[in-house]
Structure 1
Amino acid sequence: MTILIVEDNATNALILKRLAGKVTDEEIVIEADGSRALSLCHNTFFSMLVVDQMLPGMSGLQFVKAIRMLHRYDDVPVIMVTADQDPKLRETASATGVTGFLTKPVDAVTFRDLLAAHVGHVPPPRVAAR
């Protein structure tokens, strides 16, 4: 299985990838643009998504809404990591389908614990009957 990190800041993406690598041996892919990440999700099944809220192409919330419309992503954990301090964002994110929410700067232990709680808990994608 593979984890997708959608983060436009290269330094933050590298930090998240390294932290995730301490929790799992799964392949970790980074994409900086929300629209390109969505295209990737159409072509590749990811077992977990880590998404920044402020992205070029589309917001993290828009990305999550689009992902949740793909039924094979119904049960895939989505962790939102954001510098946005709007108190309503967490509530909106949860209603959109985000399963974990962290604000930047990310606490390494909290991030690893959150990933560890979700790694390996995703069934394979559903295949539509013909």
Structure 2
Amino acid sequence: MKLLYIEDQPVNARVLSLFVEKLWGDYLSSVETAEESFELLINEDFDLIYMDINLPKMNGLEAVRHIKNQLNLKDIPIIVISANTNEKVISEAIESGCQGYLKKPVRIDELKRLTEEALKIN
């Protein structure tokens, strides 16, 4: 699996990287801004994106819409990972085309379940 995490806090990216390595033995690519991810997404094929909401400059929901519409990557699954527990924000994420919403701190069992559902892995 080729996974990307868009997260501006290196500690959070490292924790998720350890989870991904433990669960599937895969490497997690990460960038700190939405803008950094766009070039990466144009040049590389990822199976799934994990997206923080509170990013510098462009926020995560704007980034989701950009990825789905401007980059025309409508089929790539995106799972939001955020400390924001506002139901309106969660609804907006799902309406924007995200396959799931994980609340921080991330629980490894929830990460596994949502990722495998999004990628249709048994």
TM-score by length of structure 1 reads 0.83
Structure 1 stretches of at least 4 aligned residues deviating more than 4 Å after TM superposition: none
Instruction: Report which of the two has the higher share of helix.
Output: 2
Aligned-partner SS, 1:91: helix
Structure 1: runs of 5+ lacking an equivalent:
122-130
User: Quick check: 1:111 aligned with 2:108?
Assistant: no
Q: How far did residue 118 of structure 1 move?
A: 2.9
Q: Give deviations 1:38-86, integer Å, cap 9, x for gaps.
A: 2211221211000000111311101100110133x22211000001122
Question: CA–CA distance in 1 between the matches of 2:94 and 2:118?
Answer: 16
Q: CA RMSD in A?
A: 1.6
Aligned length: 120
Partner of 1:35: 35
The 5 A counterparts of 1:1-130 are: 1-69=1-69, 70-71=71-72, 73-119=73-119
| Residue identity (%) | 28
Query: Is this contact kept in 2: 1:2–1:47, CA < 8 A?
Result: yes
Structure 2 residue runs of 5 or longer lacking an equivalent are none
CA distance in structure 2 between the partners assigned to 1:118 and 1:3 by the alignment: 12
Q: Which has the larger radius of gyration?
A: 1
